Structure 1
Amino acid sequence: MRTTTDRIRQAILFEIVGLLLITPLGAWTFGHPMNDIGVIAVGGATIATVWNYLFNLGFDHALRRLNGDTCKSIGARIIHALLFELGLLAVLMPFIAWYLGVGLLEAFLMDVSFALFYVGYAFLFTWFYDRMFPAPPSRGAGPVDREHGRDPRPMADL
């Protein structure tokens, strides 16, 4: 399991890199001033940072309960990214509509566009983060193949 310090580092790095990418891309794509998209991005990042910590903590606990470890398969990473973004979508859409003075449909389309970007970004970021800062193996979990993030023993040996 990751430490609280590691989870905070992960969340902060995720948001900083995301802001540097999404602000100019969002301004260019949607035709709103960069400062307005910046406010949306920073507000969204603030909400997302708290959600990131809580969601990852809960997801890792669920993985550990289900699998005995927190190593994520490709399928688990896809589910992780999608569930994270769906929760965030529900909170951010009204904020976007209110701040930009746009209708809920336009806010929804913008939010979905941001979410689609962040699904791919979350998948890639967490993959690289896990490689750069591997989580220690869970107690009693057996050997872990750091290259592939899973138990190296064949399933028949488990």
Structure 2
Amino acid sequence: MRSTSDRVRHALSFEVIGLMIVTPLGAWAFHLPTSQIGVVALIGATIATLWNYAYNLGFDHMMWRFYGRTSKTLKLRVVHAFAFEAGLLVWVLPLFAWYLGVGLFQAFLMDVSFALFYLVYAFVFNWAYDKIFPLPEWNQAAEGSI
């Protein structure tokens, strides 16, 4: 299982790289100033960082309890990414509506757009992270066995 310092490195690198991509992309897509999208993205990233740590810790404990390991198959990675984004949506939707001064439906559409970006980004980032920083236990078990 990942150490606390590894989880912190994971969460922070995920959010910093994500912010560097999503802020200009969001400003362009929604025709809003980069500063407005930047504030929403930064606050959202802070919430996401805390959620990321808690979610991944809980998910790994669940994996360890039910499967005796933390390595994930392609199918499990997809479930992991969708569940993470669904949980995050609950936390950030009110932020989007309030700060941008838009209705809940418009905020929902914007949030879904961010979530779709982060869904793909999370999948790619986590796969790359696991390849760059593998755990020793993964050498003992085949990746595709779950």
1:93 is aligned to 93
Asked if the contact 1:27–1:33 (Cα under 8 Å) also holds between the matched residues in 2, the reply is yes
AA aligned opposite 1:58: G
2:47 is aligned to 47
1:9 is aligned to 9
Displacement of 1:95 = 0.4
1:143 is aligned to 140
Larger RCO (CA within 8 A; separation ≥ 6)? 2
Q: Within 1, Cα distance between the matches of 2:134 and 2:115?
A: 26
Could you give the per-residue CA deviations for residues 49-86 of structure 1, whole angstroms, max 9, x where no partner exists?
00000000000011111111000000110011000000
1:70 is aligned to 70
Displacement of 1:150 = 5.2
Q: Bigger radius of gyration, 1 or 2?
A: 1
1:117 aligns with 2:114: no
Calculate the TM-score normalised by the size of structure 2: 0.95
Q: Within 2, Cα distance between the matches of 1:136 and 1:90?
A: 35
Displacement of 1:136 = 2.7
Displacement of 1:143 = 1.7
What is the CA RMSD across the aligned residues, in angstroms? 1.6
Asked if the contact 1:2–1:136 (Cα under 8 Å) also holds between the matched residues in 2, the reply is no
Structure 1 ranges of 4+ moved more than 6 A = none
Q: State the SS of the aligned residue for 1:97.
A: helix
Q: Within 2, Cα distance between the matches of 1:150 and 1:61?
A: 19
Q: Within 1, Cα distance between the matches of 2:136 and 2:140?
A: 11
Displacement of 1:87 = 0.6
Q: State the SS of the aligned residue for 2:107.
A: helix
AA aligned opposite 2:52: N
Q: Within 2, Cα distance between the matches of 1:136 and 1:106?
A: 45
1:79 is aligned to 79
Q: State the SS of the aligned residue for 2:136.
A: coil
Structure 1: 5+ residue runs without aligned partners?
A: none
Provide the aligned length of Structure 1 versus Structure 2.
146
Q: Within 2, Cα distance between the matches of 1:67 and 1:18?
A: 30
Q: Within 2, Cα distance between the matches of 1:129 and 1:50?
A: 18
